[in-house]
């Protein structure tokens, strides 16, 4: 395994970040809640605050308004990708604004090929939490418009398409799956790229 960074932020989406009527939806990050601990289960994640209160993520399969599609229960992102997004679109794209559950501090851009064998998170107790089947989190029109500060009442044009293309290929983040027992990860935990077994 190869160390690629540490967890710098954990968060959950307590509500959908896409708001409004279907043809006039916009991106609203107010449903994002940062947490010191994240519980990881095969069905998805939920946050644990300082008092150990549970904050359900809307992508958990058991959430009453679940947005779980089967491949999007856990999401990860990288600080290096946020640096690129800020250079392209502005300082309003603060770390975590895209809503990923796990944000990893990393200086280099991470591609899908780098993650093809999954990642492992070393918890404070020394156990390894294995995340598999990492796939690109395809960006949505609503976040793309938010990134470029495109007016919500204006019809999307080719600049929105260009932003969608820029945010694709992992720039916006990745989805992962988990099949192990209940586990908790914390800010500061180390993250490794997994290598295939010989």
* Residue 35 falls inside a structural domain: yes
Q: How many whole angstroms separate alpha carbon 185 and alpha carbon 177? A: 15
- Residue 197: predicted pLDDT: 61
* Residue 120 falls inside a structural domain: yes
Q: How many whole angstroms separate alpha carbon 175 and alpha carbon 58? A: 14
* Residue 198 falls inside a structural domain: no
Locate all alpha helices (DSSP H) within the chain, ordered by sequence.
Answer: 79-89, 141-148, 158-167
From first to last of the 198 residues of the chain, give the pLDDT tens digit.
899 999 999 999 999 999 988 778 899 999 999 999 999 999 999 999 999 999 999 999 988 888 889 899 999 999 999 999 999 999 999 999 999 999 999 998 899 999 999 999 999 889 999 999 999 999 999 999 999 999 878 888 999 999 999 999 999 999 999 999 999 999 999 999 977 664
* Residue 143 falls inside a structural domain: yes
What is the CATH classification number for the domain harbouring 153?
A: 2.40.33.20
Q: Packing angle between helix 79-89 and helix 141-148, nearest 10 degrees?
A: 60
- Domain residues for the domain of 100 are 2-193
- Residue 194: predicted pLDDT: 79
* Residue 28 falls inside a structural domain: yes
- Residue 70: predicted pLDDT: 85
* Residue 172 falls inside a structural domain: yes
Return the C-alpha torsion angle 154, 156, 160, 165, nearest 10. Answer: 160
Q: Packing angle between helix 158-167 and helix 79-89, nearest 10 degrees?
A: 160
* Residue 166 falls inside a structural domain: yes
Q: How many whole angstroms separate alpha carbon 89 and alpha carbon 146? A: 10
Q: Indicate the number of domains in the chain.
A: 1
């Amino acid at each position: 395994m190869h160390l690629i960074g540490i967890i710098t932020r954990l968060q959950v989406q307590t509500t959908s970040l896409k708001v409004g009527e279907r043809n006039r939806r916009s991106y609203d990050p107010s449903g994002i809640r940062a947490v010191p601990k994240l519980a990881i289960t095969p069905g998805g994640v939920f946050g644990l605050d300082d008092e150990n209160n549970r904050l359900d993520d809307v992508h958990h399969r058991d959430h009453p308004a679940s947005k779980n599609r089967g491949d999007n229960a856990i999401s990860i992102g990288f600080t290096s990708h946020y640096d690129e997004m800020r250079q392209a679109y502005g300082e309003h794209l603060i770390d975590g604004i895209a809503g990923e559950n796990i944000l990893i501090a990393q200086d280099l851009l991470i591609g899908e090929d780098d993650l093809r064998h999954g990642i492992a998170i070393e918890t404070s107790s020394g156990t390894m939490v294995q995340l598999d089947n990492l796939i690109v989190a395809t960006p949505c029109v609503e976040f793309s418009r938010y990134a470029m500060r495109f007016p919500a009442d204006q019809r999307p044009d080719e600049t929105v398409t260009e932003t969608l293309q820029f945010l694709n290929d992992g720039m916006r983040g990745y989805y992962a799956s988990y099949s192990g027992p209940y586990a908790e990860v914390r800010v500061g935990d180390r993250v490794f790229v997994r290598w295939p077994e010989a």
